[in-house]
Amino acid sequence: MGALHSNVLDTVGREIASGELPTGHVLTLDVLEERFGVSRTVARESMRILQSMGLVTSRRRVGITVQPRQSWNVFDPRVIWWRLAGEGRDSQLRSLIELRIAVEPLAAATAAQNASGEVRARLVELSTMMRAKGEAGELNDFLDLDIEFHTTLLLTSGNEMFEALADVVSVVLRGRTHLGLMPDQPVSEALELHERVAVAIAEARSDEAEDHMRELLAEVRNAVLPAWRANGRPIRPAAR
């Protein structure tokens, strides 16, 4: 996708996700061409992508109409990122953490049953490297390792529905870091729990892998809650 497509797509996508362009708002290709200084082809292709995400519909003689959230593909990584970038980020983060709590402990348990020897060794290696980078405060490197750790679990679970969430979890982890919801240095408890999950999977102890992953995500939830409360938006704690 070219820079012109990306500019139109990202800007309009963020505006829809934030509610700046509300449900029922009608866009036209003429307005998009003038606003962004792009060709009709670029405007039309950008709207086609938004339509594939469920954010808009296009009808002859009506125009391009913004759709309600119930129509959106809320698992599309770009939709997630746009929602995280807007005023509704708190609600989106809560939903995503609750999703992770529901899915990742089971993914860890099944990975303990299904993972190859190579994957088991890699998870232990990743957890060790995460501790080193985390304690050194090297958050960018820590983030890359964290993403690989969690996506590897999902991709090794043997459950195609869990596997499909790998990109979602990657966006969540990046979003938490880039939105300033990560401490300057990962807490010791989180580092230790990553290691416990990795060792349990390496030793094929599925019950322990599940329990430790649930503890880890509870720590994540509890770390994010104060940020929500600081914004004056107390929320209902996610179910454990």
pTM, two decimals, is 0.84
Read off the CATH number of the domain in which 199 is found: 1.20.120.530
pLDDT attached to residue 239: 31
Q: For residue 14, is pLDDT > 70?
A: yes
Number of domains in the chain: 2
Say whether both 67 and 83 belong to one domain: no
pLDDT attached to residue 16: 97
Say whether both 196 and 211 belong to one domain: yes
Span 59-76, mean pLDDT? 93
Say whether both 154 and 211 belong to one domain: yes
Say whether both 29 and 136 belong to one domain: no
Confidence tier at 234 by pLDDT (50, 70, 90): very low
pLDDT attached to residue 237: 33
Say whether both 119 and 135 belong to one domain: yes
Element (H, E) at 63: strand 63-66
Q: For residue 227, is pLDDT > 70?
A: no
Say whether both 125 and 7 belong to one domain: no
Q: Indicate whether 235 belongs to any domain.
A: no
Say whether both 52 and 132 belong to one domain: no
Given 36, 71, 106, the domain boundary residue is 71
Given 30, 53, 71, the domain boundary residue is 71
Identity of the amino acid at 142: F
* Helix ranges (DSSP H) in 116-185: 117-135, 139-156, 160-163, 166-178
Q: For residue 30, is pLDDT > 90?
A: yes
Domain containing 9 equals 3-71
Q: How far is CA 179 from CA 68, 161, 171, 182, 197, in A?
A: 25, 27, 12, 8, 26
Strand, coil or helix: 96: helix
Q: Indicate whether 236 belongs to any domain.
A: no
- Percent residues over pLDDT 70 in the chain: 89
Read off the CATH number of the domain in which 18 is found: 1.10.10.10
pLDDT attached to residue 88: 77
Q: For residue 206, is pLDDT > 70?
A: yes
Q: For residue 202, is pLDDT > 50?
A: yes
Q: Indicate whether 38 belongs to any domain.
A: yes
